[in-house]
Structures are given as C-alpha cells and as structure tokens.
Amino acid sequence: MCGIAAIFAYSPAAPGVDSGELLKIRERMKSRGPDGEGLWVSPARRVGLAHRRLSIIDLSPAGSQPMSSQDGRLRIVFNGEIYNYRALRDELERSGVRFFSTSDTEVMLHLYAAKGRDFVNDLRGMFAFALWDEKEKTLLLGRDRFGIKPLYYADGGGTVRVASQVKALLAGGRLSRDTDPAGVAGFFLWGSVPEPYTTFRSVRALPAGTTMLVSALGADDPVPYDSVGRSIRAAEEESEGLSEAEAVRRIGAAVRESVRAHLVADVPVGAFLSAGVDSNAVVGLAAGMSADRLGTVTLSFEEFSGTSEDESPAAGEMARAWGTAHRTRTVTRGEFESEIPRLLDAMDQPTIDGVNTYFVSKAAAEAGLKVALSGLGGDEVFGGYPAFDQVPRMVRWAKVPSLVPGLGRAFRWGAGLGRKVFGMRPKLAGAVEYGGTYPGAYFLRRGLFMPWELSSVMDADLAREGLKRLSPFSRLESPLVPAPQTAFGRVAALEIGQYMRNQLLRDTDWASMAHGLEVRVPLVDRILLRDAIGPMAARLARRRKSALVDALGLPPLNAAAARPKTGFGIPVWDWVGRCRDLDAWRGVPALNGPAIHGSRRWAYTVYALHGTI
C-alpha cells in the first residue's frame, strides 16, 4: 500500500516536469507510505514518477518504486496488492521471464510487457497504477474493478498530473481550486462525492474498472475493462439450475479461498472485529489459516456503554471464541474533538462516513499492525441491507403511478406542504416521482438531501448547474448496464456500484492510510463475486446472511447471526452537537429547521469545515 504520483508533459509546448512540484505532491501523501520514498524524472524531463512506500510484500530494497524493467523500457508506480501475483509469476517464469525481486510490482511490469493494456484482466486484487512505456511514449493509468484504491488526475496546459489523493495534486501548487458544482451537489445528494467528480473542477477520479492512456495526443477517455452489472449478470446466468445445497457449498468455498488469498503478506496481518456476521466470518477463517495468532481490534464508546449500540462486549466474546489477540480501544468525545483537524486533513473529499474507520485504524496502528482485514462488502454480496427488501417493494408499489404524467410532481408538491404543516419526511415527497424504477427507488433509500432541497445548503445557481452536469438518476443507471436478471442482483449492483464504491471503499482508504495501515477486504473480490453472488441471486436470496453462516459452518458465527444488526456505529452526531470547536456552525441558517439533523447536520458541518465553501 502506497501513495503514487506522476506528471507527464505530453505537449511539446508544455514546460518540463518540475521535480519540486512532484515532490510536493508525493510528500502530501507521506502517511500513506512511511517506510520509504522514490522519485524518477526522465532525462528529457517530459515525465516523472514518485512514490511513498508502505512495505507489505518484499520488504527489501528490490521492492522499491518507481520500479523499472531491466531494459529500462517500462517504469511503474503502483498502490495496492495483487493477491494472485505468485501464480502469475510462475506462469511468466515458465515462458522464460527472469525476476529480480519477489514483489507483485515486478509481476505487473512483466505482465504488461507480455500482454499490453489488457494485462489488468489478469489481476486479482486492489490496485491503482501509473505505468510509463518509453518505447511507446505513453503513460497508462489503471484502477481495480471495484474502486478499492483511488486514483485522481488533472489534465490541463498540455500536462497530466496523477496522484492517489486530490489534496496531493492540489499541494503541487499548479491547479485551480475552483469548486465543481457537480461534485458538491453529489456530496449533498449522497453524502459522498460520486466519481468521476471531485469537489474541484480541475481534478477527476479515474473511474473504477477502467484504464486510461495518455500519449503525445493527450489523454484519451477512460476505457472500461469490467462492470458490476456485467459481472453479476454473468454470475446469475452461470448459477442457473444450481441446487440450494450446491449454492451453499460454492459460497463457502469462495469465501474461504478469498480470505486465504488476502492473507498473503510479508508482515503480520490482523483484523477489525465487530459483533456482526461479516467481520466474524473473516476473522474466524483468518484465525484458522494464520500461522501466527491473529490480532483483532474493536472500538468502544462511553456514550454506548450498557446499550445495544455497544458492540465491544460481544466482540470480546467472539475474539475469545476465535482465539485472537484482541484489543478494545475506547474513543472519547475529547479525543474526537482533538482529532478533528487531523481527521479533516486526512479526509481527501468530504464524506459523512469514515470517522469509525479512522479511529479503528488508529487503534490498529497503535497495536503495531500494518495490515488489517475488514468485513466490508458482506452486506452488498449477501443482502445485509434493508434496501434488498425495500427497493423492489417500492418499485412494485410506485411503478404504475410513476407512469402518469405530472402525478409525481403534484404528489411532491402536496407532500411538501404536508412536510411544512405536519413535519412529514422529505423523501416521501419523491416516492411517486422516483420510486417506480430501481435507480429512483434506490436513490430514495440512500439519498441524503433530495434534489429540490439542494438550494438550502448550496448556492441555488450552483445547485442547478451541479444537478444538470451530474444527472444523478442517469448516473445510477450505469451499474445496471447490462441489468442483472434478479431483483437481488439489481440491488446488489447498485449497492456495489454506488454506495460501496463512492463511500465505503473510498472512506476506508483515506481513513486507514492516515495511520499508515493497509486495509484488505476479502469480501470485495472478483472471484468471490463470481462464485458467491450468482448462487445468492439465483437460489439463496431469501436466506441472505444465513446463507453465509450455513456455508461456512463455523459454530461461533451462529451467535453473531443471532444478534440484531447494529452496524459499525459511532456517536459522532451527538459529539458534533456538543463540540465546542463547532459552535460557530450551529447558527448557519442551513442547519436550522426540522429537516437538518443527524447525518444531514454532519454533512453540512463536514462540508463547511472541509474548506470548500
């Protein structure tokens, strides 16, 4: 896990690469790679690569980056882990390739040399990279299919700049800080900024599952090599005709194999542990596979003590059942207040989530861990969210009314009046207008502010421009192309392609990297998706998480499954309301009124303190 940066002055009229700028970008990401740094600028100063290293695989200097091929043709900076790199290496060695390190980075160089741009199809893991081909005079950018690892770029003045963080690119000092209304509107709609937008016009996110080529002609459009909808639909089709027993067996084998693959490392691997099924499934398997005693970490909060929100006692019981070396870390309101400046500095783009991961990652780093497994992804693959019931039900209810011209807007007007008089929920106003399609119903389930509310939290003209450019409902269609065949598959595609990609995975990255911790997500894996979500959609949709419990056959999991789902909670909204440092924001007009509370209040606070208004 690392921080990467690149600058390519592709136009002959563009100034050459400024090493000082590249170093500023790199050093803004120091927490991502505290173990080492690297820099390379071509003799003609047309291209430069930089790297901050977190040593996980091949701890020797041979694994340092930027890494070059032996003939000097290729150079790469890479962030992530390739879990099948040993199998790929064996295949390359059989074809005559000679290796000089034991790193997965070198495997990527040789694989590109053998297969070109399509080499990404062979990679199993989380990755973002920038690869310079001296012969072709091209810079290839790529990102894993789920978006586990981020990559941002800015194209202007005949130069492309690339980094793992938006704030790193801005730290170089050459980019405009003008606000992008589409990114800001997206944040208030969903609580996170949807790719490819950021909150800055000058910076874009490379979409998950794409590669992008930059040549002397400039930057091409990103080209997809995989899509969530296509993967789920293929898995559904492959699973047709499975018996329930075979479906359960296939899921168990897929989860076990993925956890085993995600344990590959040259340093100890630990795990986050809650009282829920997903993290306990990962921990239970990892504990049985690890050569050393697995270290686990969970959080506790004074405000939750003695309530159902406090997962630490149950997590401690599970840790004893799995035999892990467990640590419970208590986070207080005072610590939260003191960490606000560092937390917001680490938060690369505004988000309403990630605070929990920030503190559990801090606890893991304090315990001496460099790698931690997470159960993230289990709710998306095994139907753990209420959306798996609510979205199909809403589509059935609203499908016919939504086809009547003007009815949706009339209902919204009436519901809006009812909200003013009776305090009705804002989302109810959009039920008829949006609820008749999967994207619309999903938006009502996951949306933070409704489109007609944006002018209450941002400038009205910017809100209109942002909505026009963002086209939120069209954007939600993309995970459904091609559309999965089942209701389960459609909701899974939306959760994976929207909420998990733009919020959970991105927040996990910045929050863990703030503490130099690599977080791995075994339940977010292309092989597991193929072998688990198909059986779930085709045969086991009604069983949801119980299918995972039955598939693994681990007795302690039954105790986790019997507990009510609470989520990975943190009392942040209560803390914000009582935090002295945030008193200045209580009087902002947008924070007043019955509709601005809880996650909405936190969203506005984050946006204000994040420095984008």
Judged against a pLDDT cut of 50, whether residue 64 lies above it is answered with: yes
Distance CA(240)–CA(234), nearest Å, equals: 10
Model pTM score: 0.94
Separation CA 160–CA 216 (nearest Å):
11
| Domain boundary pick from 189, 204, 225 | 225
pLDDT band at 420 (very low <50, low <70, confident <90, very high): very low
Residue 149 within a domain: yes
Predicted confidence band of residue 262 (pLDDT cuts 50, 70, 90): very high
Between β-strands 371-373 and 518-520, what pairing exists: parallel, antiparallel or unpaired?
parallel
**In contact, 444 and 190? CB cutoff 8 Å:** no
Residue 12: is the preceding peptide bond cis (ω within 30°)?
no
Q: Above pLDDT 90, what percent of the chain?
A: 76
Domain span at 452: 387-480
Do 493 and 476 belong together in one domain?
Answer: no
- The DSSP code sequence of 123-163 is --EEEEEEEEETTTTEEEEEE-TT--S--EEEEETTEEEEE
Q: What does the alpha-carbon distance between residue 444 and residue 428 come to, in Å, rounded to a whole number?
A: 8
Rounded distance between C-alpha atoms, residue 522 and residue 148, angstroms: 11
How many domains are contained in the chain? Answer: 3
> Are residues 198 and 235 both part of a single domain?
no
pLDDT at 439 over 90: yes
- Is pLDDT above 50 for 594? no
What is the number of alpha carbons within 13 Å of residue 542 lying toward its C-beta? Answer: 2
**Rounded CA separation 290/516 (Å):** 22
Residues 85 and 185 reside in one and the same domain: yes
Q: What is the mean pLDDT of the chain?
A: 90
Q: What share of the chain is helix, strand, coil (3-state, %, to 5)?
A: 50, 15, 35
Which residues on neighbouring strands pair with residue 348, listed in sequence order?
none
**What string of DSSP letters covers 429-490?**
GGHHHHTTSHHHHHHHHH-SS-GGGGGGTS-HHHHHHHHHHH-HHHHHHGGGSSPPSSHHHH
| Residue 268: CB atoms within 10 Å | 15
One domain for residues 457 and 567: no
Residues 275 and 362 in one domain: yes
Question: Would 588 be classed as within a structural domain?
Answer: no
d(CA 248, CA 553): 10
For residue 591, name the pLDDT band (cuts at 50, 70, 90): very low
Could you tell me if residue 168 is inside a domain? yes
**CATH number of the domain that residue 61 is part of:** 3.60.20.10
CATH number of the CATH domain containing 306: 3.40.50.620
Q: Is there a contact between 57 and 78 (Cβ–Cβ < 8 Å)? A: no
Residue labelled with tokens 């691997």: 269
**Do 388 and 491 form a contact (C-beta atoms < 8 A)?**
yes
Helix (H) or strand (E) holding 520: strand 518-520
Cβ 103 vs Cβ 126: under 8 Å: no
pLDDT band at 32; cut points 50, 70, 90: very high
Task: Pull the structure tokens for residue 549.
Answer: 């419990």
Residue pair 257/263 in contact (Cβ under 8 Å)? The answer is no
Residue 276's φ and ψ, nearest 5 degrees, are -85, 175
The answer to whether the peptide bond before residue 555 is cis (omega within 30 degrees of 0) is no
CA distance 128 to 145: 10
Structure tokens at 274: 């809650």
- For residues 328 and 398, membership in a common domain is answered with no
pLDDT digits (tens, 9 = 90+) for 92-109: 999 999 999 999 999 999
Residue range 480-494, pLDDT digits in tens: 999 999 999 999 999
Task: Determine contact, residues 152/103, Cβ cutoff 8 Å.
Answer: no
Do 419 and 466 fall within a single domain?
yes
At 30, list the tokens. Answer: 């120091």
Going 440 to 455 to 188 to 612, the CA torsion angle's sign is: positive
Q: What pLDDT, on the 0 to 100 scale, is given for residue 567?
A: 59
Query: pLDDT at residue 197 above 50?
Result: yes
Q: Is the confidence at residue 478, as pLDDT, over 70? A: yes
Max mean pLDDT range (281-295, 424-438, 581-595): 281-295
Res 303: pLDDT: 82
Does 600 fall in a domain? no
Structural contact between residues 304 and 126, judged by C-beta atoms closer than 8 angstroms: no
Tell me, what's the pLDDT at 374? 98
Residue found by looking up tokens 């040789």 in the block = 110
The residue from 167, 194, 225 where one domain ends is 225
pLDDT one-digit tens code per residue, 106-144: 999 999 999 999 999 999 999 999 999 999 999 999 999
Same domain, 431 and 560: no
Domain boundary among 225, 247, 264: 225
Residues 380, 310 within the same domain = yes
How many CB atoms within 10 Å of residue 115? 12
Q: Per-residue pLDDT for 474 more than 60?
A: yes
Residue 450 has pLDDT above 60, yes or no: yes
Buried b (16+ CB within 10 A) or exposed e, 228-250: bbbbbbebbeebeebeeeebbeb
Name the pLDDT band for 216 (thresholds 50, 70, 90): very high
60 CB-contact burial (10 Å; exposed 0-12 / middle 13-18 / buried 19+): exposed
Residues 140 and 155 in one domain: yes
Please give the backbone phi and psi of residue 75, each rounded to the nearest 5 degrees, phi first. Answer: -140, 145
DSSP notation for 190-251: HSSPPTT--SBTT-EEPPTTEEEEEETTEEPPPEES--HHHHHHHHHHHHTT--HHHHHHHH
Report whether pLDDT(588) > 90. no
pLDDT at 585: 44
Band (417; pLDDT cuts 50, 70, 90): very low
Length of the chain, please? 613
Q: What is d(CA 126, CA 150) in angstroms, rounded to the nearest whole number?
A: 10
Average pLDDT over residues 367-375: 96
Instruction: Give CA angle at 300 (601, 329), nearest 5°.
Output: 120
612 is a domain residue: no
Non-local CB neighbours of 508 within 8 Å, separated by 6+ positions: 354, 357, 374, 376, 519, 521
Same domain, 380 and 506: yes
pLDDT computed for residue 406 by the predictor? 54
- Look at residue 160 and tell me if it is in a domain: yes
Task: Supply the pLDDT for residue 600.
Answer: 80
Instruction: Answer whether residue 27 is part of any domain.
Output: yes
Residue 147: how many other CB atoms lie within 10 Å: 28
Contact criterion met (CB below 8 Å) for 9 and 33:
no
Asked if residue 396 and residue 275 are part of one domain, the reply reads no
Q: In the predicted model, is pLDDT for residue 408 greater than 80?
A: no
pLDDT of residue 418: 42
Could you give phi then psi for residue 133, rounded to 5 degrees?
-110, 105
In a domain, 584, yes or no: no
Residue type, 458: M
C-beta separation of 96 from 118 below 8 A: no
